[in-house]
Structure 1
Amino acid sequence: MGTIQESKLEFMKVGDGMNSNRKAAKRVGVLFILAAVTAVIGLKLYDPILIGPDYLVNGAKHANRIVLGAVMELMLVVSAIGTATIMFPILRKYNETIALWHVCFRFLEAIVITVGVISVLSLLTLSREFAAAGAPDIVSYQSSGILLKAIHDWTFMLGPLFMLGINTIMYSYIFYKTRLVPRPLSILGMTGAISVFLCSLLVMFGVIEQISVWGGILALPVAANEMILAVWLISKGFNEHALASISVNKQNGGVTPT
């Protein structure tokens, strides 16, 4: 009798674990999509204050649009942190060190993006002051504006390119080793990570522009990976057999087979 009850309890625990992993996978998928959507919308909303020579005038004219763009990017920050923290308990089952690095670098990515948001909002303040001044010394305002725009440009490169490449290679590597998702998807993730990291270096050394044909080509694989991965996690979730294998191997002190 006791053996039957113990078996039932064990079965219930397994079921609860599968439900928990399924929910985690869906949340990660939704957050990946939310991050991508808010990033694109936020950047587009910034156009009046980041594009063109009349940004000191246009920024104040489109203040609400700029603030909404900042809100979109802050949602991106929350989404990025969310994907890392939700995946951490799953990734750590294979390699706790890499899982912890992933969380740390994702937080760094979020911090860099937040600095970019602050620079844009500061530029908006500068634009409002310029509009309120009537006939100001435009040179001094432009000098400050150039500096703030430069801060945004660098954060826009370091966050969505440099840090993103590091983050993606870490979780994609664990996915590849454990088969938590299909290996072709993991390979696309690692390929995209290397490609976007290379893009960040080329932009950093002035070889290409971030907003350019080559910048788009090099960033495309990682964007495709995140969207395909998001859809997969929402519809299929993580490979439960692979998760079970990781847990068994960890309990036995072994290594998950490749």
Structure 2
Amino acid sequence: MPSPVRAARIVGICFILAAVASVIGLVLYDPILNGSDYLTNGAAHANQVILGALLELILVASAVGTAVFMFPYLRRYNESLALGHVCFRFMEAALITVGVVSVLSLLTLSKAYVAGGAADAASYQASGTLLKAVHDWTFLLGPNFMLGLNTMLYSYIFWRSRLVPRFIPALGLTGAALVFLAALLEMFGVIPQLSVWGGLLCLPVAANEMALAVWLIAKGFNPHALAALSARRA
């Protein structure tokens, strides 16, 4: 197991990698997820879409990395909550992976549509609509619902244990509630996905992750809090 300093830095780097990969990956998906001519545009931008999928796989690995390397320190406060965080983070990663598969399947459909000279367009459109819906739902349930739950858990532990300054988990608890609210509003059709309101509701959780990442890379976990937790478990 790496030292607390090294583990903290790995977690911080994973948070930054996840944020960068998720944003760029979503932008690269644009030709195949947006617009009425996505079946044609997808095949025309195949390499771009594949690069977006690879970036989302980096997001998946980074998300899992944060859970794996935080677990030994979160469990010193409460092992059940720490395990819950790992489980929800893995569920988030699994849902994102399903979304990646749906996009790559849509790319295959797009190539077949173009190769067939746009014959039987209605069937291709129906299949494309289904695959896009799978991506939309996995995006809603993974980086929204599950993100809110696992952020709530690790932020609560950080608040109680003081492993990091309390302003960071305070931002995390607020952000978790707001991203969960955004997911509910999107699920019931109150706001569309990737809307301005949805983006605003997700800002606090993004700010929390970046603040936590910078702190862990620069300062690491509070050594006094680590010592206190170790003494309590002894």
Say whether the fold is shared (TM-score over 0.5). Answer: yes
1:199 aligned partner: 182
2:124 aligned partner: 141
1:183 aligned partner: 166
1:30 aligned partner: 13
Mapped partners of 1:249, 1:68: distance in 2: 47
Provide TM-score, normalisation by structure 2.
Answer: 0.98
Whether 2:211 is the aligned partner of 1:228: answer yes
Gapped regions of structure 2 (runs ≥ 5): none
1:132 aligned partner: 115
Amino acid at match of 1:120: V
Summarize the alignment of residues 79-90 of structure 1 with structure 2, pairs less than 5 Å apart. 79-90=62-73
2:83 aligned partner: 100
Mapped partners of 1:145, 1:205: distance in 2: 23
1:65 aligned partner: 48
Shift of 1:184: 1.0
1:4 aligned partner: none
Mapped partners of 1:141, 1:224: distance in 2: 40
Shift of 1:28: 0.2
Gapped regions of structure 1 (runs ≥ 5): 1-16, 252-258
Summarize the alignment of residues 37-52 of structure 1 with structure 2, pairs less than 5 Å apart. 37-52=20-35
Amino acid at match of 1:22: V
Query: Which deviations, in whole Å up to 9, do the C-alpha atoms of 1:160-187 show, x marking residues without a partner?
Result: 1100000000000000001000011110
2:200 aligned partner: 217
Query: Which deviations, in whole Å up to 9, do the C-alpha atoms of 1:90-113 show, x marking residues without a partner?
Result: 100110000001111111000000
1:166 aligned partner: 149
Whether 2:57 is the aligned partner of 1:78: answer no
Poorly superposed stretches of 4+, deviation over 6 Å: none
Shift of 1:144: 0.3
Shift of 1:213: 1.3
Q: Quick one: higher RCO (CA 8 Å, sep 6+), 1 or 2?
A: 2
Amino acid at match of 1:100: L
What secondary structure, in the 3-state scheme, does the structure 1 residue paired with 2:3 have? helix
Mapped partners of 1:135, 1:240: distance in 2: 63
Amino acid at match of 1:123: L
% identity of equivalent residues: 67
Give aligned pairs, total: 234
Amino acid at match of 2:66: T
Mapped partners of 1:213, 1:116: distance in 2: 22
Mapped partners of 2:149, 2:203: distance in 1: 16
Mapped partners of 2:136, 2:118: distance in 1: 28
Whether 2:231 is the aligned partner of 1:248: answer yes
Whether 2:134 is the aligned partner of 1:151: answer yes
Mapped partners of 2:72, 2:214: distance in 1: 21
Between structure 1 and structure 2, the one with the greater Rg is 1
Query: Which deviations, in whole Å up to 9, do the C-alpha atoms of 1:89-146 show, x marking residues without a partner?
Result: 0100110000001111111000000000000000000000001101411000000000
Mapped partners of 1:135, 1:52: distance in 2: 17
